[in-house]
Amino acid sequence: MHPEGVEETLRALEAALGCGIRSAAPVTDRRRGAAVYHVEHTHGQLALKTGPAAGREAAVLTALAELYPGYLLAAGEGWLALRWLTGPTTSELFAAGRADPAARPRALAAASELAAAVADLHAVGWRHGDLQPRHAHHEGLGAAQLIDFGIAHPPAGDLRTPPCPYRGGMAHFAAPELAATLAVTPADAGVPLTEAAEVYTLSAVLFYLAADRLPVDYAAVGLDRATASVADLHRVLAGGPTGDVRGDLAGWPELADLLTAGMNPDPTGRPAAADFRRLAALSA
């Protein structure tokens, strides 16, 4: 028995790929009206993503086909089919690295792979828009597959605009300048995302994974995360990281310089995503 409401989509998927569907199991909670299913079919397995942004995400992945060959398998009205990713997420690899020193080199390699994926996007004018600890899978040493491109930002002049006003990705990792803009911008108005702001987010995500804490200690600044609004978070995040960033990275000296620079409140003082590629040599 397939999940309720997806029978028509599964029939369209069968027609598009010329396969028979054996099972379709939900693997994520619905967010922004979207859902993801693990589909097993006569030729293998795939991820089926449904929701209002599916068409836009399919258009983005079509534009990025050279970066991610074979990732987008098919798409239709309100759905897209993606290669099923079996590799661990960046979050999983860092959790292993925090628990076991022997797993640290793989975590550092994952940091390099994630940064390289972001740098590759920036090199062709795109920004991901929603970098998170679990938004990259590491399929093999040397490569990271980013996921969730529904709110990606295209190169200047590209017509594949986000499907709704851009209000940032996960708030906890927002660059100070982006948070400051969001804090004073009406909720129905979008804001631009720069490469420098995304480098901050990349750095903040990696800091969170290495230090096992968010860049801003909300309790220390008198904010209760349980009751705070997103606007409250943005006002606090606009002040930049709190606490001893470098000290909290003492267990990861390979990351300390890059992440401290990457979370510089001044965007002009941040490295580019491509500068993180040096982690590959450190983790070898």
pLDDT at residue 266 is higher than 60: yes
DSSP state of 28: S
pLDDT at residue 226 is higher than 90: no
pLDDT at residue 278 is higher than 60: yes
The tokens of 152 are what? Answer: 């990606």
Looking at residue 281, what is its pLDDT? 60
- Assess contact for 121 and 155: CB atoms under 8 A: no
187 vs 48, residue with greater confidence: 48
Looking at residue 140, what is its pLDDT? 81
| DSSP string computed for 55-87 | HHHHHHHHHTTTTSTTTEEEEETTEEEEEPP-S
For 104-117, how does the pLDDT look when each residue is reduced to its tens digit (9 = 90+)? 999 999 999 999 99
DSSP state of 277: G
Residue at 193: amino acid letter:
L
For 50-96, how does the pLDDT look when each residue is reduced to its tens digit (9 = 90+)? 998 899 899 999 999 999 999 999 999 999 999 999 999 999 999 99
| Gap between the Cα atoms of 71 and 145, Å rounded | 9
Mean of the per-residue pLDDT values for the chain?
91
- The 3-state secondary structure of 228-272, one letter per residue: CCHHHHHHHHCCCCCCCHHHHCCCCHHHHHHHHHHCCCCHHHCCC
The whole-model pTM stands at: 0.93
Q: Is 87 left (phi over 0), alpha (psi -120 to 50) or beta?
A: beta
Of how many residues is the chain composed? 284
Residue 46: strand pairing partners? 39, 83
DSSP state of 213: S
| Gap between the Cα atoms of 19 and 67, Å rounded | 26
| Gap between the Cα atoms of 209 and 206, Å rounded | 5
pLDDT at residue 1 is higher than 50: no
Residue 82: strand pairing partners? 47, 72
